[in-house]
Amino acid sequence: MPTFEEVVIANEELSPLQIKVIGAMMASPTITEAAEKMGINRSTIHKWRVNVPGFREAEQAARQQLASEIMSEVRATWQAELAASRSR
């Protein structure tokens, strides 16, 4: 799956605001909170998901990339803790 950056580059129709909103969505627990942070109505995000080519794809790529980064951090932490417990 392409990275968020690759999807954004491939979808030139995404506006800077839409790209920032996707970032806010990744940092927020709800769409409502992301919309509030960005000063837009949550219905705008839902409309973009349906009507803006590339928005949904960029959102999915961002979620996948975030999940991958989190899993890498979890693995690193787990491996460090395992190594520490074995050296005791």
Q: What is the mean pLDDT of residues 60-78?
A: 86
DSSP 12-81: TT--HHHHHHHHHHHHSSSHHHHHHHHTS-HHHHHHHHHHSTTHHHHHHHHHHHHHHHHHHHHHHHHHHH
Q: What is the pLDDT of residues 39-61, one digit of tens each?
A: 999 999 999 999 998 999 999 99
Q: What per-residue confidence (pLDDT) applies to 2?
A: 80
Q: What is the pLDDT of residues 74-88, one digit of tens each?
A: 888 888 888 888 887
- CATH at 79: 1.10.10
68 or 16: which leads in pLDDT: 16
Q: What is the mean pLDDT of residues 12-23?
A: 93
How many domains does the structure of the chain reveal?
A: 1
pTM of the model: 0.76
Token pair for 80: 């460090």
What is the domain range of residue 82?
4-86
In the chain, % of residues over pLDDT 90: 53
